[in-house]
Structure 1
Amino acid sequence: MGQTLVACSRLTSWVPSAFAAEALAVIHGLRFALDLDFQSVILEGGSRSVIQKIVDNGKDLSEIRSLTWEAKELAKSFRFCRFHFVDRSGNKAAHAMTRDGLRRDEDRFWVEEVPDLATVTVDDDYRSVDPP
């Protein structure tokens, strides 16, 4: 079965910090994948701290604990759910989509079948970042 690459940018009013904005982005991504009835998800986020808080099973006392809790609960809805930190240079498409959504002042959604060649490239990238 082929893979599908999706992205979304959501306009959100008043967010208290960049840290909270990153956590909300994870939640929006998970909800978007649920809306599309995905069973398996690899969510890429731009904040290493937020990703670590979501995958960590320890007690979270941070300002975003309610958001990380919600992300953890949403992740349970999938048969497979993995989180990866991706720095800005590796996530140019997401940043371009966000800029476009802000300029248009609307939510934006993108869904596309991933060509086999791109899947191989992405898999190679993951192996170089997170070797087996």
Structure 2
Amino acid sequence: MKWRKIIIEGDSLSIIKKCRSNTPDKSQVCAYISDIHKLQSRFQECRFEHVLRVVNSLAHTIAKATLRDKRIIYLVEGVPEYAEDQRERDREGEPE
């Protein structure tokens, strides 16, 4: 995929802050943060945004299913059926 601009959303504020920071990370996730910083250079623009965990339930559902099924899922022009089901459940819980 040759995207030039991406937005990465996550519900862990501390991780989002580490990804935004230019200072070296010394936590247990430092290798991941270092890899993220290296990958950033491939994009014209790469933003990290914090979202509430409630908002992130769809991403969480997809991640759990991917780990459980031990297969890679590409979300291009659509999502798996179970993700559509989760989206509908999330919509039902939204205030009008």
TM-score greater than 0.5 by the shorter chain: yes
> Could you tell me which residue of structure 2 aligns to residue 84 of structure 1?
49
> Could you tell me which residue of structure 1 aligns to residue 92 of structure 2?
none
1:105 paired residue among 70, 75, 78: 70
Instruction: Could you tell me which runs of 5 or more consecutive residues in structure 2 were left unpaired when the two chains were aligned.
Output: 79-96
Distance verdict in 2 for CA 1:111–1:58, change over 3 Å: same
Whichever of the two has the greater Rg, that structure is: 2
1:57 counterpart = 2:16? no
For the aligned residues, what is the CA RMSD?
1.7
1:44 paired residue among 9, 18, 28: 9
Q: 1:57-87 CA deviation, whole Å, 9 max, x = no partner?
A: 2232212222211101111110011001122
TM-score, structure 1 as length reference: 0.53
Shift of 1:112: 2.3
State percent identity of aligned pairs: 31
Amino acid at match of 1:50: I
Amino acid at match of 1:69: S
Distance verdict in 2 for CA 1:56–1:100, change over 3 Å: same
Richer in helix (by share): 1
1:69 counterpart = 2:34? yes
Does 1 or 2 have the higher relative contact order (CA < 8 Å, sep 6+)? 1
| Secondary structure at the counterpart of residue 3 of structure 2 | coil
> Could you tell me which residue of structure 1 aligns to residue 88 of structure 2?
none
> d(CA) in 2 for partners of 1:96 and 1:50?
19
Misfit runs of 4+, over 4 Å: none
TM-score, structure 2 as length reference: 0.69
| Secondary structure at the counterpart of residue 17 of structure 2 | helix
Shift of 1:100: 2.2
